[in-house]
Structure 1
Amino acid sequence: MNFFPCTLVYVDLDARPGPNATNRDPLSYVNQAICLNNSLRQMGMPTLTIMSNAPAEVARRLDSIAPEKRPSLMRLNATIELSKDTPFYAAHFKLDLLDQVAGALPADTMLLLLDTDMVAMRPLEQKLIGRCAEAGLGAFDISDQVFPAYGSEKVVADLEIVAGQRFRNPRWYGGEFLLGTPEALRRLVLRARSTYTRYVGEIDRLGHHGDEAFISATLNALADEGQGIVEVGAYQAVGRHWPGNNYRDLRWFRACSFIHLPGGKALLEKEARSAGFVPQRFWRRVQAAHLRGRARFALKWIARALGVERLVKRFACTVRRLKGQTMR
């Protein structure tokens, strides 16, 4: 099977910026996509295609790049209507992207949907691609990160509200990576359209917003109906890393084919200005950012500890003073 790497760049100056966005330039995601494309080319993978509702603006940002090094560009036919104050507003349009691509891909080509704030560090394993092709879908299960952080009962409740049904083994899937055959994608889109409608109708009841909520609900529903889904994180096809986070040893991420860096957007935009992607150089920058993050966590912990200590001392002094007044 061949695969078609693709990413979404949705531009809307009136929309609420993404929660992890640090650059207010609406086209900063194009810079991240340039870095992603450079890394794909370095790993011998196909050229990235950017799908955007504003292809003319994106094309102008790409003008300075040599034609043979540019990502490809396609117009996104956006149909979704949603309040622009919704968190992760732009990411909701991945559903339109999936719909459009599923109807255009040849039968022997799989969609590889990626977020812009990612890099390829190693080629995807051919055996894994074959497993995903046989199953129909490969997705990134991040339940072990989301369930403890927000409470498994709350997360599962959101999924089942959105799907309108109970799941046998509910899972939460990250939106940064999806590998699927055209046939499986068409099945996914058909179910996701109705799931999305329910998601919008129930959005005020939900603790989680964004494409992950309704796509995860859809994937769970399909899984309960027998749809095969390969959990690609177990194969280290992708890892989600936050600078300073000790969720996994940093060395684990170095062995991943793709690293998602939602807290490292500035790092990716800086890397995009380099002539080419050099994995060893980029990894050194990731390591440095991680160490700075660990230092920030340590300082925050010390500050909190000292704050509590001061409160305890103040309380003890107050108690002693009150005791002295009582004795007098």
Structure 2
Amino acid sequence: MSRNLLASFRSPLASRGEQRSPSPSNLQVQLKCNCGKLCVAVTITSESITGHCHCKQCRRFHVAAFASFCVVPTVDLAEQTSIIRRPGACATAGRVDRLWCACCFSVLGMEVTESGRRCELYLALGTVEDASIPDSLALKWRECFTEWTLQECATWPAALPTMHRARRVTPQRAQMPVSGGCACNGCRFTANVFPGELQHCYCKLCRKLSGAAFQTWTPCLAEGFAWTNQESLILVRTTPHGQRHMCRICSSTLTIVYDSQPDTIWPAAGCFDDETVPLDVSTQLYRVIHICCIWMQSWYTLPDDKLPRLKYAG
């Protein structure tokens, strides 16, 4: 059985047959963190707005290419003692409180406060349980996302590899460093990742921890990676075969370290400083792939980029 999906694959809805039945005017979806200690029903209405925010603050907090939100009235989270709130800013919503789970660091979204009263919840859709989203709602969302703050979008999410395969440069020869860090700057690093590759991952763990549609990873030899600030750095085992560096202050997930690759660190592209990423990053890439596509959420559509789509990890 092939480990690849067709290059034309763009959404799980297509494989199930897109049913264009109207979605209910009011329904509930489940907001659930990775550890399961936080599970809240959130009511979605026909007026609920969805959007991808590309602002620098959202990209860094979610450690992703962009944040995906559904805007709803604020949910009563008083009984959810595991929720952490941290004041922040968003170019779309203004002053906000960022929300995440204190136990597993899953990003839950952000709340907007007016006159001392919480009035809106920007629900992080990557943390919404897949099974709670009916196909009719997923199809509606897929067709109505607004792109917010495109003027601040990163260059790397749309990059395509242009280095010829015969001239492929391995990570051992990567010489172009980038810098990056978490949302609060308590963790900072430099990494020699270019020339290199990007792997856009849609697995449930990456989605839950980031609250985004996917996270993007790039390999770096451990000898080419250095922490320049690690005041709030922790290393957490997140799977039987790997660990992730996280910030205990702002919840950012910064790297993956696989047990089978002790000499390699995989930093998340979402935490790179924009000014250190090559302007024409495509010329520095020999491989870009979409991985774990069988777990991508039904409301998201892959770009029509003809890049390889792998069912599982690559």
TM normalised by structure 1 equals 0.26
Bigger fraction of residues in helix: 1
Give 1 or 2: higher strand fraction: 2
Instruction: Compute the TM-score of the two structures, normalised by the length of structure 2.
Output: 0.26
Select the structure of larger CA radius of gyration: 1
